[in-house]
Chain A
Amino acid sequence: MAAVVTPALTFLLRPLTLGLINYVPAGPTGIVFAILAQYHAMIPHIYKYRLALSTSAPNDNHFVGLTFSDKSYRYLLALQLALFQWPGSLLAAAVGWVVGHAWRNGVLPGSLTTWRVPGWMVGIRGPKRTEEFEGLRRRLEGENSAAATGMQTLGQEATGRRRTTRQQLFDQFRGAL
Chain B
Amino acid sequence: MSFTNAPVTRSLVLGLVASSIAATLFDVKHYFYILVDLHILKYHQSWRALIYQLCYTNSSEVLFACMTLYHMKSVERMWGSRKYLVSFGLPRELDSSIYGNSPSSS
Chain A residues close to B by CB (< 8 Å) = 1-4, 7, 10-11, 14, 19, 22-32, 34-36, 38-39, 42-43, 74, 77-78, 80-81, 84-85, 100, 103, 112, 114-119, 121-124
* Beyond known contacts A7-B34, A24-B36, A28-B54: 10 more, CB 8 A cutoff: A3-B52, A3-B53, A3-B90, A4-B49, A11-B36, A26-B56, A28-B88, A43-B75, A77-B71, A117-B100
Decide if A24 touches B65 in the complex (CB within 8 Å).
no
The A interface, classified by DSSP as helix, strand, loop or mixed, is helix
Which of B36, B82, B93 interacts with A119 by CB under 8 Å?
B82
| A15 to B: closest C-beta gap in Å | 10
Decide if A10 touches B34 in the complex (CB within 8 Å).
yes
B21 within 8 A of A: no
Decide if A122 touches B7 in the complex (CB within 8 Å).
yes
How far, in whole Å, are A117 and B58 apart by their CA atoms in the complex? 31
| A77 to B: closest C-beta gap in Å | 5
0/1 interface trace, chain B 63-106, chain A, CB 8 Å (1 if under): 01101110110110011011101111111010000111111110
How far, in whole Å, are A139 and B51 apart by their CA atoms in the complex? 52
Total interface residues on B, CB under 8 Å, equals: 52
Decide if A74 touches B68 in the complex (CB within 8 Å).
yes
With A27-B55, A42-B75 as given contacts, are A117 and B34 in contact (CB-CB < 8 Å)?
no
The number of A-B residue pairs with CB atoms under 8 Å apart is 156
| B74 to A: closest C-beta gap in Å | 6
How far, in whole Å, are A36 and B29 apart by their CA atoms in the complex? 26
Chain B residues with CB under 8 A of A1: 87, 90-91
